[in-house]
């Protein structure tokens, strides 16, 4: 009987593209929200970035909604 090995070093969460739980690469990135170069340094916010290891779909969620 063949067994299927699933990588366990990633975060498993629901993928909206695949329609089921899949392993994801998750990171926190600081993204600039302003296109204005003068104020760009003041418009950086932390985002949770999750990329599905199966299909490559990426979601970005703003962490600071103040």
**Number of other CB atoms surrounding residue 6 within 10 Å:** 9
Residue 22 included in any domain: yes
Does residue 5 fall inside a structural domain? no
Does 2 reside within a domain? no
pTM: 0.72
Cβ-in-10-Å burial (0-12, 13-18, 19+) of 15 comes to buried
Residue with tokens 């204005």, as numbered in its chain: 36
Give the angle 47-13-8 at the CA atoms, nearest 5°: 105
pLDDT in tens, 25-50: 999 999 888 777 777 777 889 999 99
Domain extent for 23: 11-62
Residue at 54 is within a domain = yes
Q: Is residue 4 part of a domain?
A: no
pLDDT at 9: 60
6 located within any domain: no
State the total domains in the chain.
1
Q: What angle do CA 31, 37, 42 make, to 5 degrees?
A: 50
50 inside domain: yes
From the centroid of its chain, how far is CA 23?
11
């Amino acid at each position: 009987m063949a067994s299927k090995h699933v990588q366990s070093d990633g975060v498993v969460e629901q993928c909206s593209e695949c329609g089921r739980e899949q392993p994801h690469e998750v990171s926190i990135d600081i993204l600039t929200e302003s296109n204005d170069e003068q104020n760009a340094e003041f418009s950086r916010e932390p985002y949770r970035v999750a990329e599905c290891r199966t299909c490559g779909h990426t979601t970005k969620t703003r962490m600071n909604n103040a």
